[in-house]
Amino acid sequence: MGFHRKLALVYALILFAAAALNYVPGLTDAEGRVFGVFALDVFDDLLHLASGLWALAAALVSTRAARNFLRIFGALYLLDGLLGLWTGSGFLDLGIVNYGVLDLPFGFKILASGPHILLGGVALAAGLRK
């Protein structure tokens, strides 16, 4: 199994873990925020689960499928994170449609959008790598 397939497998594990965060006792605060920052709902969990299944399938199918996953997923998550950093709302969870531009502290936007920027940027860069 080559680099791209292994990385897609790592992404599957990360995304499955993200989907499970709301269901691990002690990780959410009284307001339902994971680590006191992320307000994940069932839609977010399903999005992470579907992305994880996509990553797993791509890793198991072929190098080409894994690279395509990394490129497409990476571009989508990176753009979602950058939009969240700019507006406080992303597009993958329809936040920008449902809530519009949010007036949030910049530090909070970094904490909330950072994972998508990091995961998306790394995936996109790896997918573009030969």
* Rounded Cα distance, 128 and 102, in Å: 33
| pLDDT tens per residue, range 62-104 | 999 999 999 999 999 999 999 888 987 777 886 777 777 877 7
- Residue 5 confidence (pLDDT): 98
| pLDDT tens per residue, range 37-58 | 666 677 888 999 999 999 999 9
DSSP for 27-60 reads: SB-TTS-BTTTB---HHHHHHHHHHHHHHHHHHH
Decide: helix, strand or coil at residue 105: coil
